[in-house]
Amino acid sequence: MALPGGDPLAAALAAGETPSPEMVAGAGADIGISVRAAVSCLMLLVASILVGQWISDDRQIAGAVSLDLPPDALAARAREVCRAFGYPAKPRDRAFGMAYDTDYLQHMWTAKDRRPLRDRRPSPIYFWYRESPSPLLPGSVGGVRYLDPPPSKPGMLSLQLDSAGHLIQFGVVPVAVAPATPAFDNWRTLFGAAGLDMRDFEETGSQWAPPLLPDMRKAWNGSYPGQPEPLIRVEAGTKGGRVVYFRIFHPWVSPQDGEPIRVVGVRPGVRALMNPVGAVWMWALVLLSSVLAWRNLRSGRGDRRGAFRIAVYIFVVQLIQAIAVGDLAHPFERELPAIHRSVMLAFQVWLAYIGLEPLARRIWPQALITWSRLLSGRWRDPLLGRDLLIGITAGCAFVTAVGVTAVGVAWSALSTGTLVGYALPVGLGSIVETMAIPVSAPVLFGITFVVSLSGLWAILGRKWAAALVGWALLTAVFVSAAGGYAIVVPQAVTWAGIGLVVALYVILLLRVGLTTMITCMVTVVLNLSLPGGLDFSAWHQQPGRINALLLFALGLYAFRIALAGRPILGAKLDER
């Protein structure tokens, strides 16, 4: 290898040629980690997972709220409310889930309200329930949400309960022709369903117009039992002798249903600036890949096998997500559009990989060595095991370190009431949906980022300058996409947290390679999506524990193949 021409990859780069994927996969060492380093990584991984599960409840909203009733019990409670309000018919389709009251979280942060959340009303977490006489067909990718599809068809019913099963909101799209019934006068039924005492309320004039105007509207002012604050307003309406509208309004609640979710910690003006930055970057890559794909296919530089396998991977993940959140009882309405979206996304990924990957392979092939080995089917390669083990360990250790810091600040005199609302998946389908995005999106982000960094490196001429610009771009993209969680932190903390995790990704990409960066990104997003906990009676922690076991299993697999059969404790007996 020391002789001239002994390194084919170096020779191809010196000649200005684009090395083939096979040449890149054949470069580099076969074993890149010592036994001591591998054992240290595994021990750090186990410690990070255990500590992360131990402190999980102390850094999330779900750990500060009473969630004693599981979603199935809340769904049964919702059906009871429907029957009590005069809707006993069994629906053709239904859906339910958990969500965060972002208006309340905004109020808590703005008012600096740091009182304990447990057994306090209102709750920042609510349960939503949907019924329909026809299939519920969401317009966006994923499962049914509280406002997706919009409640527009006659017979659609939707309601919200707090974590204790008290009614918060109720709405029905009335049918065009309904039998005449006596006027509704049992208002105490509504207050009882909401856990309120009607004697504590004073009737007043209605102010908020419901989405569908009822025949009769009523309104009351009062407060929760045993809580003089906050003052609340109850609005209700009936049509044809049945309740069609009920809602509890708080001082911080906007009367507009379906108001876009706000993320506390990222100001609207900042998001308005960051969104175009991310959009321009992504659209530039799309246009560039479309132009380069045809040229690479004609010249033979495109990695067709790698692009096909990446596209198949994206298609399978998206299809599993679609099946998990869909309804097999209505395949033509739900599954076929989801399959169509999966095929289109897979084709877009294939096109982008064909167009952009050769650029990174020509400028920075060292970052793609284990990535090329992975796509070539060398799944037991020791170097691949090293990169996977480092990525998983770094991701778990980073999330745990941030969690320990947050808990330490919360316990100290510097406490600001910082809480994070992670995903609350309900049922196996929702868990699969929650995990599908972390295991697919980082692949797309990682590939586009390594191509962007390679291009910046070629333009700027210095790796550190390219890394700095790439870090700033990726931070802007992640800040603009921070709407997946209900975050109650200052804006500076939001920027610092996202900036730190992006810096970790960039360092791993520069020092190790693309595989390690993508693995770390998947690990971080999974840990943030499903934090878990050690309270085995808490239903909302079960998905996080499943996620922790999966990460440990993958880390153990990476540890074994990274050792490549080498003994852990000294030499083998037959070698002594």
| pLDDT tens digits, one per residue of 68-86 | 788 889 999 999 998 888 8
| pLDDT tens digits, one per residue of 100-159 | 887 787 777 666 666 667 767 888 888 999 998 888 877 766 677 888 888 888 888 999
Query: Which uninterrupted H or E stretch holds 341?
Result: helix 336-363
**218-241: average pLDDT:** 85
Residue type, 127: F
pLDDT given at position 445: 82
What are the residues whose beta carbons fall under 8 Å from the beta carbon of 40, sequence distance 6 or more? none
Distance CA 382, CA 384 (A): 5
pLDDT band at 479 (very low <50, low <70, confident <90, very high): confident
pLDDT given at position 331: 53
Distance CA 373, CA 383 (A): 9
More confident of the two residues 538 and 7: 538
| pLDDT tens digits, one per residue of 26-39 | 887 777 788 999 99
pLDDT given at position 558: 94
Cα dihedral across residues 48, 545, 550, 561: positive or negative: positive
Strands 227-239 and 216-224: antiparallel
More confident of the two residues 94 and 259: 94
**426-439: average pLDDT:** 78
Distance CA 238, CA 172 (A): 10
pLDDT at 207 over 80: no
pLDDT at 288 over 80: no
pLDDT band at 87 (very low <50, low <70, confident <90, very high): confident
**395-417: average pLDDT:** 67
pLDDT given at position 490: 57
Inter-axis angle of helices 463-480 and 427-460, nearest 10: 150
| Helix (H) and strand (E) counts in the chain | 17, 10
Distance CA 487, CA 296 (A): 43
- Of 180-189, 230-239, 493-502, which has the strongest mean pLDDT? 230-239
pLDDT at 390 over 90: yes
- Of 183-187, 548-552, 568-572, which has the strongest mean pLDDT? 548-552
| pLDDT tens digits, one per residue of 452-462 | 888 888 888 88
**283-299: average pLDDT:** 78
pLDDT at 575 over 60: no
Strand locations in 401-471 (E) = 419-421
Range with lowest mean pLDDT among 169-178, 283-292, 341-350, 483-492: 483-492
**168-186: average pLDDT:** 73
**497-508: average pLDDT:** 88
Q: What is the pTM of this model?
A: 0.80
**406-410: average pLDDT:** 61
Average pLDDT, rounded, for the chain: 79
**Residue appearing with tokens 């897979």:** 346
pLDDT band at 59 (very low <50, low <70, confident <90, very high): low
Residue 250's nearest CA partner among 309, 331, 169, 157 is 169
